Amino acid sequence: MRIPVSLHIPVRHPENSGSSPIDPYVQLVTPDGVRVPDPLYDRWVEDIDGARLQELYIDMAVIRRIDTEATALQRQGELGLWPPLLGQEAAQIGSVRSLRSSDFVFPSYRENGVAYCRGVAVGELMRTWRGNAGAGWDPYTVNVAPTQVIIGAQALHAAGYAMGITRDGTDDAVISYFGDGATSQGDVSEAMVFAASFNSPVVFFCSNNQWAISEPVTLQAQVPIANRAPGFGIPSIRVDGNDVLAVMAATREALDRARSGNGPTFIEAVTYRMGPHTTADDPTRYRDSAELERWRVKDPLSRLQALLDAMGLFTEEFAAESSRRADAVAAELREACLGMPDPGPADVFAHVYSEPNSWLDRQQEQYSRYLSGFAGEENR
């Protein structure tokens, strides 16, 4: 049967329950960069030595730099929109670096760091945000579904894909990313019902970044979000989402559960969206700057830097190498974005159906005839 839930507190907290720092969560590295032992989760990250920690740091530095560059490109009119991931690097890197390549990822729109680490080229990463394509990459080459903008819909896709894995009989797993706001959506609840009912190999990864656009999580969650999952029969865990090591331990445990036929897991990674919801948002209108400062000291990069420093691994050379790699990716991203060819009008018909469709063919034919009607007009 089910593994007992690791956190189940069915009692409503008196105040601030959704984001209160007093709610317990798994933490392996403190904000000051001190490694704290954990009897349950240490074993999941035993193999992560200094060199691996350095790699994780570089990963986070690179995706933070991608985020900065993409935000700048949006401000310069080169991207239509961008959803910043600043502050959520550990949640993305700790989880994606626990996956194997045959696992399948169903991201929201904010998991651009996850997509990058799965091998999506930076140019492909930008295509949707530049408005050049509905989806930027071939999902099957990287096993990452296209960017999902419908809140929470990807949880259903993940549950369905995981049911397919069971039928295929492989030990692959699925991970679905969504935010705290998405847990209020029916789709996420339905997905959990299905995953629990079919004992599917899926990990529901909730990046609780404290804000559903301008709505604080405390309004939507009267108990920690992780506490909802046991009601569906899904074991859940609350983890410090700014601690890359803790996120990795929790994700590995969940993936192991999925692969060994023990069904879904719900992970609530408690993190913080340090920037706006998207480039069209201004968080200073609804958010206290003191709150931002409280979270800034818990920054995922600075704590790993402190840990590496204590280990004598955050050398000047390493810092320079990390910046150099991040800057190189940023330059590559900018170049790919600016050099991206505009799509043709007929491109909207591509990838609508996986197989030929006469109805769509007819529409395309009519549309091209309509377009050719403008041939006489100049400069169109």
Partner 1 sequence: MLREFRLPDLGEGLTESEILNWHVSVGDTVELNQVIADVETAKAVVELPSPYAGIVARLHEQAGTVVEVGSPIVSFEVATPAGADADGSGTGGESAPAKREPNLVGYGAVPDAVGRPARRRRGAAAAADPVPVPVTAAAPAAVTGAVAVAAAAPAVSAAPAPVRERPRSTPPVRKLARDMGVDLTGVQGSGPGGLVVRADIVRAALPAADTASATAAPAAAGPQGCAGREERTPVSGMRKHTAAAMVASAFTAPHATVFLTVDITPTMELLKRLKQQPAFDGLKLSPLTLAAKAVCLALRRYPSLNSRWDEAAREIVRYNYVNLGIAAATPRGLMVPNIKDAQALSLHGLAAAVTALAQTARDGKTPQADLAGGTISISNVGVFGVDAGTPILNPGEAGILALGAVRRQPWEYEGEIALRSVMTLSLSFDHRLVDGEQGAGFLSDVGAVLADPLLALAMA
Catalytic residues: 273, 277, 286
Q: Which stretch binds partner 1 (CB under 8 A): 2-10, 74-82, 145-153, 212-220?
A: 74-82
Which residue in the set 276, 298, 304, 305 belongs to the binding site for partner 1 (CB under 8 A)? 276
**Residue length, the chain?**
380
Q: Does 327 bind partner 1 (CB under 8 A)?
A: no
Cβ–Cβ contacts within 10 Å for residue 30, how many?
15
Q: Per CB under 8 A, which region of 40-48, 137-145, 148-156, 282-290 contacts partner 1?
A: 282-290
Q: Tokens 């969560």 map to which residue?
A: 25
Build a one-symbol-per-residue string for 98-137: x at contacts with partner 1 by CB under 8 A, - elsewhere: --------------------------------xxx-----
Opening angle at CA 266, ends 278 and 49, nearest 5: 85
Least distance in angstroms from the C-beta of 65 to partner 1: 11
CA neighbours within 13 Å on the CB side: how many for 305? 14
Question: Which of these segments, 71-79, 186-194, 258-266, 316-324, binds partner 1 (CB under 8 A)?
Answer: 71-79
Whether 35 contacts 307, CB under 8 Å: yes
167 makes contact with partner 1 (CB under 8 A)? no
Cβ atoms of 99 and 256 closer than 8 Å: no
Under rule CB under 8 A, residue 281 binds partner 1? yes
Contact between 54 and partner 1 by CB under 8 A: the answer reads: no
Q: Name the 3-class secondary structure at 267.
A: strand
From the list 58-66, 72-80, 92-100, 150-158, the region that binds partner 1 by CB under 8 A is 72-80
Burial class (CB in 10 A: 0-12, 13-18, 19+), 208: buried
- Give the residues across from 182 on adjacent strands: none
Give me the phi and psi of 282, to 5 degrees please: -130, 95
Compare residues 97 and 130 and give the one whose CB is closer to partner 1: 130
Of the candidates 118, 97, 119, 85, the one whose C-alpha atom is nearest the C-alpha of residue 52 is 97
Is residue 168 a contact residue for partner 1 (CB under 8 A)? no
286 binds partner 1 (CB under 8 A): no
Map residue 273 onto helix, strand or coil.
coil
Smallest separation, CB 276 to partner 1 (Å): 7
Contact 243, 27 (CB under 8 A): yes
Count residues near partner 1 (CB under 8 A). Answer: 27
Q: Give the C-alpha separation, 109 to 128, whole Å.
A: 10
Instruction: Select from 12, 43, 75, 294 the one that contacts partner 1 (CB under 8 A).
Output: 75
Least distance from partner 1 to the Cβ atom of residue 73, Å:
9
Q: Which stretch binds partner 1 (CB under 8 A): 44-52, 68-76, 142-150, 302-310?
A: 68-76
Locate tokens 């099957």: which residue? 140
- State which of residues 32, 55, 282, 365 lies at the interface with partner 1 (CB under 8 A): 282
Q: Is 342 in the site for partner 1 (CB under 8 A)?
A: yes
Q: What string marks each residue from 80 to 99 as x (binds partner 1 by CB under 8 A) or -?
A: xx------------------
DSSP state of 201: -
Closer to partner 1 by Cβ: residue 27 or 68:
68
Q: Decide if residue 301 touches partner 1 (CB under 8 A).
A: no
User: Could you tell me the CA-to-CA distances from 20 to 130, 181, 271 in Å, in that order?
Assistant: 37, 17, 12
Tokens standing for 62? 């690179």
| Distance between CA atoms of residues 213 and 64, nearest Å | 20
| 341 vs 356 by CB, closer to partner 1 | 341
Stretch that binds partner 1, among 55-63, 163-171, 257-265, 276-284 (CB under 8 A): 276-284
- 8 A C-beta contact, residue 349 and residue 363: yes
Write down the least CB distance from residue 278 to partner 1, Å: 8
By CB under 8 A, tell whether 74 contacts partner 1: yes
The CA-atom distances, in angstroms, between 217 and each of 91, 182, 271, 285 are 17, 11, 12, 17
Which residues of this protein are in contact with partner 1, per CB under 8 A? 68-69, 72, 74-81, 130-132, 276, 279-282, 284-285, 342, 370, 373-374, 376, 379
